[in-house]
């Protein structure tokens, strides 16, 4: 087992039906279904193009309840795109963390533990798609930026998590990240 500590820089919520873009809030309360009011809330969700083994629309476990990005990787994407910054809200992120420059490479099964006992499970990389690229292109007004985002964000787009233990997450919280090496704990 390997452990790291990082910090929550911002917490965000996607609570508008017309967009995945998030907005900053002081705290989020997480339940086993995710963040109440967030567009990704729920224990189940319909299968989509990411789960090719299931017929589209089949109800499956929701392993994409919470999206997390790092300041370091957002800065790398901005450099690769030649833009001043990538704002985590444009990516639909629920948490922006700092102090973990290779967040996207965090292995599935790693745990993120918060001061009040809240626990998240890393479900893996949040693979880049064209949607956030369109938001970035619209903001900067640079044609072709949307398509370039997909390759620029490979292995830098952050992770998706599910909730293992309910609680509250706030900006300023420290997170203890635990990676397991396969041995029993």
> Is residue 185 pLDDT above 90, yes or no?
no
Q: What is the pTM of this model?
A: 0.93
Q: pLDDT digits over 108-134, tens only?
A: 999 999 999 999 999 999 999 999 999
Q: pLDDT digits over 71-101, tens only?
A: 999 999 999 999 999 999 999 999 999 999 8
The whole-number pLDDT of residue 183 equals 36
164: left (phi over 0), alpha (psi -120 to 50) or beta: alpha
Nearest CA to 63 out of 76, 48, 73 is that of 48
Q: pLDDT digits over 29-61, tens only?
A: 999 999 999 999 999 999 888 788 999 999 999
Q: How far apart are CA 68 and CA 164, in angstroms?
A: 15
User: If you average pLDDT over every residue of the chain, what do you get?
Assistant: 93
Question: Within 10 Å of residue 116's Cβ, how many Cβ atoms?
Answer: 12
- Residue ranges and CATH numbers for the domains of the chain are 2-179 (2.40.33.20)
Q: In angstroms, what CA-CA distances link 51 with 47, 125, 162?
A: 6, 14, 17
Q: How far apart are CA 63 and CA 66, in angstroms?
A: 8
Pairing of strands 95-98, 159-165: unpaired
Cβ atoms of 176 and 5 closer than 8 Å: yes
> Is residue 102 pLDDT above 50, yes or no?
yes
């Amino acid at each position: 087992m390997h452990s790291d500590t990082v910090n929550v820089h911002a917490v965000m919520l996607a609570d508008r039906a017309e967009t995945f873009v998030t907005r900053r809030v002081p705290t989020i309360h997480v339940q086993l279904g995710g963040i109440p009011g967030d567009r990704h809330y729920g224990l189940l969700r319909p299968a989509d193009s990411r789960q090719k083994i299931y017929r589209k629309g089949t109800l499956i476990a929701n392993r994409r309840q919470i999206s997390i990005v790092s300041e370091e990787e957002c800065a790398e994407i901005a450099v690769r795109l030649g833009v001043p910054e990538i704002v985590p809200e444009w990516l639909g992120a629920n948490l922006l963390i700092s102090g973990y420059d290779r967040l996207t490479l965090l292995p599935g099964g790693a745990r993120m533990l918060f001061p009040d006992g809240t626990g998240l499970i890393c479900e893996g990389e949040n693979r880049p798609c064209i949607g956030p690229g369109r938001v970035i292109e619209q903001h900067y007004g640079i044609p072709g930026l949307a398509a370039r985002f997909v390759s620029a964000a490979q292995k830098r787009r952050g992770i998706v998590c599910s909730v293992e233990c309910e609680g509250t997450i706030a900006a300023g919280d420290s997170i203890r990240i635990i990676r397991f090496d396969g041995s029993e704990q």
